[in-house]
Structure 1
Amino acid sequence: MITLKKHYTEAIKRNPDDPKLYSNRAACYTKLAAFDLGLKDCEVCCKLDPKFIKGWIRKGKILQGMQQHAKALTAYQKALELDPSNAEAVDGYRACSTQLNSNPEEVRKRAMADPDVQAILRDPAMRCILDQMQQDPHALQDHLKNPEIAAKIQKLLESGLIAIH
């Protein structure tokens, strides 16, 4: 595996714009349990080619291995946007969803420890939007048109505090 990693590193030096090379090297790092390095390669891979589904799936698996299930869920969601029937993405999404929803109190404690989540929940405008979404689920579509609000809602989704069905 270390030899393979060296070959991918050399290939990346020669062709730094090929997302597959980063994805493959990330797989090597994963086998070596170097999740942080694998995650960096996945991020480069997904940035180079946001439509390369294997990069998103690999990122999801690495984040799962790092016990970051909410972030893994987001990576699997990106993969499912590209191919809703991809079995690896569906399985990863289900596993993360199950893990996140298995202990609601733990989800809440972890989310509330995040300063970004705290700031969103302290924002009176966001509280109004969240209340409105509970009353009228169709209101969500209007709010998602605003990129700033969409980013905050995405953060709450990733934290596991809210879910959209």
Structure 2
Amino acid sequence: MFGIDTLGLCEDSAMNDALANAPRRAGGRLTPQESALLERICAGTWRGAEEARAQLAHARWGGKDHDGDACFLIDIPAEADAPRIPQQGGGPIATLAVSDRDVHLGSLELWVEGGQLHSLDYSTFSDAGGEMLPDVRQLGDFTSHIDEQANPLYGRPNGPLVKVAPRDLDRR
């Protein structure tokens, strides 16, 4: 996608650390690791993946959404000639499981806003809370491709959402 072997560059942790820890400005280049993670999560066949890959060719580092973790915003320049990602029902548009052998570490989530790539978030179960992005080799299969219309049970682990009136709660 970017004309470089991003998987191979991710193995150069010194280069990734130097780029990730250097003072950065919104609109700057993505690190090789950030590029590799975005390429992997955009490689799926979910609704909007093709448009996401087209936008990825123009993607720049958009800054931090909040301090204390490695999540980052994605900037797609206004002049980029890339198609919009179709509207979806909310939540991350694509999610990949992150694991170390048999231990599930968390999830890598791609978010879209207004038809454009918005951010890459790493939600972990560790106390460190995603201070560092995972290695691309820790990514598993897609755990969801969000389209609320096609998957009405998304986000509802116990089945369909059932509305309960407050008076019903008193009887329990």
Does the TM-score normalized on the shorter chain lie above 0.5? no
Structure number with higher strand proportion: 2
Could you say which structure has the greater relative contact order, defined with CA pairs below 8 angstroms and 6 or more residues apart? Answer: 2
TM range (shorter): under 0.3
Structure with higher helix content? 1
